[in-house]
Amino acid sequence: REDSAAAMMLKPTDSQRIVRALEVLDASGRSILEWQAERGQPLIDRQSAHFLVIEPDRAALVGRIDKRFDQMLDKGALDEVKRLAALGLDPELPAMKAIGVRELQAAMAGGIGFPEAIERAKIATRQYSKRQTTWFRHQL
């Protein structure tokens, strides 16, 4: 089966959305666009709801991000990346695009030093955190 309407809406390079559209079609027999067009009853009336956003102190968040990446390394992230590399997977797969994978692979290949790879991965995580915060603000 194919979903020509969804195919026209998706970029040919957006493999994640293409796979999801095909999964929805296979599981339900309906286009993902049909599902997205349906407007069900909202769970919460936005007019009477009160929204509260609690954001952590940015410096504290950066510290937690850095600590978390260090803990990941202590618990075997480098070995995990080595095992991924040994599988010879397509670098465009989502697992290969995970924050830290490319940075650590670059260090293992000798392109950059491990301290630089670690710092780049931490920076990428901070940037991802900032994008999440920006996305969330636009949802309110």
How high does pLDDT run on average in the chain? 91
1 pLDDT exceeds 70? no
Please report the pLDDT score of residue 66 as a whole number. 97
Go through the domains of the chain in sequence order and give each one's CATH number.
4-37 (no CATH), 58-139 (1.10.287.890)
Q: Where are the strands (E) in 1-140, listed by range?
A: none
CB proximity list for 26: less than 8 A, separation 6 or greater: 1
pLDDT digits (tens, 9 = 90+) for 69-97: 999 999 999 999 999 999 999 988 888 99
Q: What is the reported pTM? A: 0.72
Rg of the chain over Cα atoms, rounded to whole angstroms, equals: 20
pLDDT digits (tens, 9 = 90+) for 55-66: 899 999 999 999
pLDDT digits (tens, 9 = 90+) for 7-50: 888 998 888 899 999 999 999 999 999 998 887 888 888 888 88
Please report the pLDDT score of residue 16 as a whole number. 86
Q: State how far the Cα of 100 lies from the Cα of 12, in Å rounded to an integer.
A: 26
Report the length, in residues, of the chain. 140
Measured CA to CA in angstroms, residue 129 lies from 8, 27, 39, 55, 133 at distances of 31, 33, 30, 11, 6
